[in-house]
Structure 1
């Protein structure tokens, strides 16, 4: 075997069996290396009916804010062709994405779905009572995130724009710069800078915005009232609401990706397995048996 083949073989062995994860209020979604999808947790409205999905490159899980105790969640999948599929609760048309095309990234919030197109524009469907779907004039975007009542867009120049509810200052990001990733929770917004630090605005009742001392971060995630940071050494930090142990990630290691739901936290390890902590009332943390 030549040198190139040896490297390719090594990469194949180390490539994660699960390449992406998403967390909703009561369910968890996992994207496998082969483009298929699995789900665990509450399936009251069909949000876990993803077994037939194929050729997926990204997944997103709609959340339910803390004041709501119903299973009104949905799940979104992005195919390699740039089209989008959806299952679950659809009372606000948040699953009406079947005519979408040329999509490169997706996000799912409370009762809505957001898509980033290859030309840097953004589309959204679903609940728009607070203007959280008013993204038709956005341009030059490279990433999107969806909180419960606000939608976040990251521009190619590292600045951030937000529409929707701003009751707790979760949209006050005009001074942010050099941002490379964004995340949105129930009432807070988090940004990751190119220097590996983090910034946050919005509701801070549980300390979910206390990220100013974070360093060497490579990824972030925002749950309803907690915030997760993945460090360059594969360890994870967390701040915020911890009633269900969703911030108990101090012993995690060798993590390559993170996600945060309403009250649970997920991580993908470098071997492709998935770990979870937090609220497991509906089995949304039952991922220990997941394999390729």
Structure 2
């Protein structure tokens, strides 16, 4: 039951709970609890919550009996003030009441009338004066509606991997649903009985996302469900350095010979096995490390870079003052803002080039362009751009970008994959194998792929997850990184090929010559190079694994990977962080393991406060 009226420009949702579970009389109420209200027994307890139209609680609002000749007052003087979460409780004797609702400043928000009589349930007499969009439901009915819809995705507590957030809801009733994202209205959609709908697709916001879904059935009964997700790459690894984002703070560790840790200093081949919070950058929401360079996005959508810059991969428009020799550089290479980039939502490094996806779906790039990996229509041996350039020829609905040794790739919302740059190992996925110097300077669509939801790449191989849970791989295969079987050093595969025996996959990950897949049951499969224990099997043999196998022993429920060249990290659903693989220069992040060449099983990492 609802009515609409605009009072004080507010949209209120006024939920009433009569009795303790539904519309009923609280005859057995505890006298001490009621005494707090100055009331006696044999009265009807009415409780509920007060929120605005966005679902936010209205605290410190008062509910009181109006002085009106039209109301037969029986001596009750019920009064309640809403709590910090908008909850309230009234206890009334027999009679009819006009209840006024006022905000903390005494301004009238609305009124309603109700009746209470001995041995009868309370009843609403008049709701014509309620404010815009009112719901009067029992707790039992609200729970019933809540049980009839389920948010299938995104999962509560998940980390979003692409610039797309489709909302999938399953319902056993006909519902009209309203969606809020971080208190911002994202519109309505209808879900039919037994229907699985994804008609609402939201663009995730950088950092934390609170998604609220309010659903109402045909009888006007409403319920709300809330999920929390995070958009941004919180863990990343390069050649031998690593980083992790916690509450806007960036922690780094490992090798620092090019200042890639972001501390602002570099002393020769400095090693820092201790996880250290940076004071040189704040409000970080996403990072991308590779080789000896680092990139980050802050919560305002700006891009910051630091580390090696020999071919302009920091995007600063110059080289001399940033790429001085480590012996005479002194304090250098703290994170610096890349000029000319705003509204960034994703930033990654290849080996010596960077790709940045912006909120409007466009992509910019900077760094090495020796085989056209910047995608701006130019390229050739020794060429580079130290300032961001636009990638040309991509559709406007790009949701993910990745970079390899000298190739780049993009995924669109429509499920298509585009690749450009190096094709020496069949990287382009078009059935041909190019030469080491051949230039592909604009994106080319991989025509044999469709329905792709997530992509990943290593040095020169690529993975694509299809919407049916299968995975395709192509490119360099010498270490078994394609997962399609073989022995020795297989030849490159220039056409996307189904990975052997892999089903129900929800995400794919790669770097170097190793590959990983997370399945929908929380298990993980891995394949490729393993000589440094980088697959986490507990062994360094076999050195190559050609088909997906059980890896990362000893941990469960991995939801996100950070893959380096030979060392890796995983964030568990519990929020715990683990690392394993090659520990060169302290890249795993445990000072007590400094003399350990490699960790063949996952090691728990503690993040200092």
| TM-score after normalising by structure 2 | 0.38
* Aligned structure 1 segments of 4 or more residues deviating by more than 2 angstroms: 1-12, 18-21
1:87 corresponds to which residue?
A: 253
Q: 2-side partners of 1:120 and 1:176: how far apart?
A: 21
Partner of residue 358 from structure 2, selected from 150, 155, 158: 155
Q: 1-side partners of 2:148 and 2:368: how far apart?
A: 52
2:394 corresponds to which residue?
A: 176
| Alpha-carbon shift at residue 11 of structure 1 (Å) | 8.5
* 1:245-256 matches, cutoff 5 A: 245-248=480-483, 249-256=499-506
Q: 1-side partners of 2:480 and 2:407: how far apart?
A: 20
Matched position secondary structure for 2:234: strand
Change (3 A) 1:10 1:155: closer
The higher-RCO structure (CA 8 Å, 6+ apart) is: 1
| Alpha-carbon shift at residue 250 of structure 1 (Å) | 3.1
2:296 corresponds to which residue?
A: 115
The reply on whether 1:229 has 2:229 as its aligned counterpart is no
1:58 corresponds to which residue?
A: 234
Matched position secondary structure for 1:192: strand
Q: 2-side partners of 1:267 and 1:20: how far apart?
A: 16
1:124 corresponds to which residue?
A: 305
1:270 corresponds to which residue?
A: 520
Deviations along 1:105-162, whole A, 9 cap, x unmatched? 1101110110011211100110011111113321121111110000000111211110
| Alpha-carbon shift at residue 169 of structure 1 (Å) | 0.5
Deviations along 1:182-212, whole A, 9 cap, x unmatched? 0000000000012100000011111122133
1:145 corresponds to which residue?
A: 348
| Alpha-carbon shift at residue 289 of structure 1 (Å) | 3.3
Q: 2-side partners of 1:15 and 1:253: how far apart?
A: 23
Gaps of at least 5 residues in structure 2 are 1-139, 162-231, 264-277, 316-337, 376-390, 430-445, 484-498, 537-551, 558-609
The reply on whether 1:96 has 2:262 as its aligned counterpart is yes
1:215 corresponds to which residue?
A: 450
Q: Is the 8 A contact 2:353 2:367 kept in 1?
A: yes
Q: 2-side partners of 1:57 and 1:125: how far apart?
A: 17
Q: 2-side partners of 1:224 and 1:241: how far apart?
A: 8
How many matched pairs?
A: 246
Deviations along 1:218-256, whole A, 9 cap, x unmatched? 111121000111111111111100111111133211111
Partner of residue 243 from structure 1, selected from 467, 478, 490: 478
Partner of residue 370 from structure 2, selected from 167, 171, 193: 167
Matched position secondary structure for 1:228: strand
| Alpha-carbon shift at residue 6 of structure 1 (Å) | 8.9
Q: 1-side partners of 2:244 and 2:149: how far apart?
A: 31
CA RMSD of aligned residues (A): 2.6
Q: 1-side partners of 2:421 and 2:254: how far apart?
A: 29
Q: 2-side partners of 1:226 and 1:205: how far apart?
A: 11
| TM-score after normalising by structure 1 | 0.77
Change (3 A) 1:137 1:57: closer
Matched position secondary structure for 1:133: coil
Q: Is the 8 A contact 1:141 1:156 kept in 2?
A: yes
Matched position secondary structure for 1:120: coil
Q: 1-side partners of 2:251 and 2:531: how far apart?
A: 27
Deviations along 1:70-99, whole A, 9 cap, x unmatched? xxx1111111x1111111111111112613
Q: Is the 8 A contact 2:284 2:298 kept in 1?
A: yes
Partner of residue 76 from structure 1, selected from 243, 263, 288: 243
Q: 2-side partners of 1:11 and 1:142: how far apart?
A: 21
The reply on whether 1:291 has 2:526 as its aligned counterpart is no
Q: 2-side partners of 1:175 and 1:285: how far apart?
A: 37
| Alpha-carbon shift at residue 271 of structure 1 (Å) | 1.9
